Amino acid sequence: MPNDTSSQPSPALTGRAPRHSRARHASLLTGPLPILTAAVLWGTTGTAGSLAPTGAPAAAVGAAGLVLGGLLLFLTAPGGRSLPRTRTGGERGLLALGALAVAGYPLSFYPAVARTGVAVATVVALGGAPVLAGLLAWLTRQSRPTVRWAAATATAVLGCVALVLGPGLTGAGTPVDLPGVLLAAAAGLSYAVYALVGGELIARGHASGAVMGVMFGGAAVLVLPVVLWSAGPWLPTARGALVVLYLGVVTTFLCYRLFGYGLRHTTAQTATTLTLVEPAVAAVLGVAVLGERLPAVSWCGLAVLALGVVLLTRERRAEPQSSNRP
């Protein structure tokens, strides 16, 4: 996705502001804050999922939430149904790639959790996503990673590792499950890809709601057979229905509306780093709600993670604006 402005039509002809102009006028409220809000809500998914009926497969619960939330995003997005028909072949291909990436996340992340545990899966998937997003953005010429972004991301990832893996650092080591780690890495790649695809389409002037609606609506159709195949007696129960309702309406529909809005003013690589606050929220909820205990190293990791997020949100005002930013 080259960013050669010499071959692009004039903003006056396209009716949309250039990317560097939009980034210059973005503020904390229109960029990082919606993404951070979504990440905070995503941090509740582990606690919500733990309330599912006994015997409910984790992948089936996550897929059911995606089906509900994805269809809501598609049906309520203005222009969502017309977007695939009115786009060029290349943009339709991007929408299809985004839908595949969205569908790939729950189908790889939840099995990774089952094989490696939530700690390793979270670190590999969420910790790797910002790095993968930065590399993919550089390879596709969407933007060049800045030194400040690299430092903030490294700080946040280090804090995430210490936070999540802290409880197991003093215990006996367990063998690493290589297939589980690869599945978690695939989940991180899926997240990075659909964040980049969504950010690119939004940067081209398409409404964020329509872009997210099409990608998640397509993903809902793709994972629907998984739900139908694995649905059991847990789904029609009151507890099962409430868990799926929360995952679908709050952590999918609402969160990705916020995430898409934030991508209008924030690069995808920055957005994926900001969402590292998700495991921090999950850890705090584990202490406050589930009675879990965190060692000192995890609390130190939480502080380091917070420092990385602060550095990243300050980047928007501190670094010079560049026309190479998406």
Q: What is the pLDDT of residues 77-88, one digit of tens each?
A: 887 777 876 667
pLDDT of res. 286 = 66
pLDDT band, very low/low/confident/very high, at 326 (cuts 50, 70, 90): very low
Neighbours of 80 (CB within 10 A): 21
Q: Is the pLDDT of residue 5 over 50?
A: no
Residue whose structure tokens are 């659909």: 194
Greater model confidence, 206 or 279 = 206
Q: Is the pLDDT of residue 72 over 80?
A: yes
Percent of the chain with pLDDT over 90: 20
Q: Which tokens sit at 166? A: 């802290």
Q: Is the pLDDT of residue 202 over 80?
A: yes
Instruction: Give 262-282 pLDDT, tens digit per residue.
Output: 888 887 778 887 887 887 777
Is residue 218 within 8 A of residue 96, CB to CB? The reply is yes
pLDDT of res. 30 = 64
- Every domain of the chain and the residues it spans: 30-318
pLDDT of res. 69 = 94
Q: Which tokens sit at 197? A: 């695809």
In a 3-state reduction of DSSP, which class is residue 203? helix
- Which amino acid, one-letter code, is at 76? T
* Contacts of the segment 138-144: beta carbons below 8 A, 24+ positions apart: 140/1, 140/196, 141/1, 141/2, 141/3, 142/1, 142/3, 142/196, 142/199, 142/200, 142/267, 142/268, 142/326, 143/3, 143/267, 143/269, 143/322, 143/324, 143/325, 143/326, 144/322, 144/324
Mean pLDDT over the full length of the chain: 76
pLDDT band, very low/low/confident/very high, at 10 (cuts 50, 70, 90): very low
Percent of the chain with pLDDT over 70: 74
- Among 44-48, 189-193, 219-223, where is mean pLDDT lowest? 44-48
- Among 8-17, 95-104, 200-209, 287-296, where is mean pLDDT lowest? 8-17
Query: Which residue, 26, 18, 20, is CA-closest to 204?
Result: 18
Instruction: Give 158-171 pLDDT, tens digit per residue.
Output: 877 777 677 666 55
Is residue 160 within 8 A of residue 127, CB to CB? The reply is yes
* pLDDT (mean) for 210-229: 92
Greater model confidence, 197 or 269 = 197
pTM assigned to the model: 0.72
Is residue 190 within 8 A of residue 105, CB to CB? The reply is yes
- Alpha helices (H) in 234-295, listed in sequence order: 238-248, 255-263, 268-274, 277-288
* pLDDT (mean) for 62-72: 92
pLDDT of res. 87 = 67
Q: CA 259 to CA 251: how far, in whole Å?
A: 11
Query: Which residue, 242, 281, 214, is CA-closest to 71?
Result: 214
